[in-house]
Amino acid sequence: MPEDPKPNDGPDTGAPSGTEEPVGDGAKPEPKEEPDWKAEARKWETRAKQNKADQDELQKLRTERMTESEKALEAARAEGRTAAETEAARKYGARLVQAEFRGLIADRVDDGKRRDALVGGLATANYLKDDGSVDLDALKKWAETVAPAASSTPDLGGGSRRPPTSTPGAAGLAEAQRRFPQQRKPEN
């Protein structure tokens, strides 16, 4: 008969192993100690800084071991990469700015022709940053200027909501007074 690898020391409580069991006579289990999140964050920040330093050191060693032709090749690659990024930003930056602007004014301008005119007349170069990304803050300000946000309550065409000038029954009283003018009582 094979032996049980773990002897059963206590009564079977039905709880899975590794969970808290009641202490004493049905008392609540002691809560597990909560980790110190600030200490954990500091630990991971330290590890990230160390990883960055190690990566920089490795790159420095690789650069030192390169031959002159490898260094020239790496410099040419970096120059080509920069040129390609600049070309892409020049080529697609205007479209990106226009798309962002179109999205910002979509719910503000219902007329498609007016929206297209606003997008077409946009000076896209003014809203591109040096890295090729869109300056959203400036673009939002311009969108608010040329197409202010609609009011929170839409006009459903129900007409004016001015309060009535007279109270209920005032029109009937005026008509009654017109038809039946008060007669003056003769004075004695």
Q: What is the pLDDT of residues 44-68, one digit of tens each?
A: 999 999 999 999 999 999 888 888 8
For residue 3, give both structure tokens.
């032996």
- The model's pLDDT over 158-168, given as tens digits with 9 standing for 90+, comes to 777 676 677 77
The reported pTM is: 0.41
Mapping DSSP to helix (H, G, I), strand (E, B) and coil, where does residue 185 land?
coil
Q: State residue 18's pLDDT score.
A: 53
* For residue 35, pLDDT beyond 90: no
CA distance 108 to 94: 21
Q: Name the residue type at position 64.
A: E
Q: Residue 40: phi, psi to the nearest 5?
A: -65, -40
Give the separation between CA 166 and CA 98, rounded to whole angstroms. 54
User: What percent of the chain lies above the pLDDT cut of 90?
Assistant: 17
